A = this chain, B = another copy of it.
Amino acid sequence: MQNKTYHHGDLRNALILEAIVMLHEKGIGGLSLRELARRLGVGHNAPYRHFKNKQQLLEAVAATGFRRLKAHNIRLELELADDPESQLFESGVAILNMAMEQPELFRLMFGGYLSLGKCGPELKEEAHASIESLVKIISLAQQQDIFARGDVMRQTLAAMSMVQGLAMMASSGMLRDNVTGDEQQFKRLALQVYDILLMGLKKR
């Protein structure tokens, strides 16, 4: 009946995955280490063998989120190798989708929950890699004379800010009231907002 051994075997990953589920169900505030342990059928202290404290578990969850985005971006880089503009767009769409489909995970990643100055190296690396991939796309766009030449970091920051801000509004429902709640219409609006960003970035 119970194929459960004393040692779980892969508890660390199981914790992260179940945490993502629980995050989605109950939000960041509702995620508790003890219930997490209960759900996985282990004692309330087992998680502490893999994470020093709750904060570290959350960091690992966030890092997993960034890793998923990175995986998506790598696929984009292959499929749209010489089209940086589409790459930028699609990676923005991915973030938007995450904000709509897994708002709590998105909030954990981009909501400033992890001051990133005090977080562990794993999360820091993933976050940096996330930025670096954007930098790469944008400098490619500059080289192809699609975007105006200039400080790459400036354009990167502009793109990140715009997408992140838009996604945050979307996930926190700050739009639902102004945009008649229609998801289709929201996507149209998001596209138009993205156009404004593009106009600011493109060569003229």
Cβ proximity bits A117-144 to B, threshold 8 Å, 1 near / 0 not? 1000000100110010000000000000
Q: How many residues of chain A get a CB closer than 8 Å to chain B's CBs?
A: 49
Q: How many copies does the complex hold?
A: 2
Contact present for B158 and A117 (CB under 8 Å):
no
A162 is an interface residue with CB less than 8 A from chain B: yes
Most central of A103, A157, A166 by chain B CB within 10 Å? A157
A-B contact pairs, 22 of them (CB 8 A): A107-B111, A107-B112, A111-B113, A111-B172, A112-B168, A114-B172, A116-B173, A116-B174, A131-B174, A153-B178, A155-B196, A157-B166, A158-B197, A160-B165, A160-B169, A161-B166, A162-B165, A164-B165, A195-B200, A196-B201, A197-B200, A199-B200
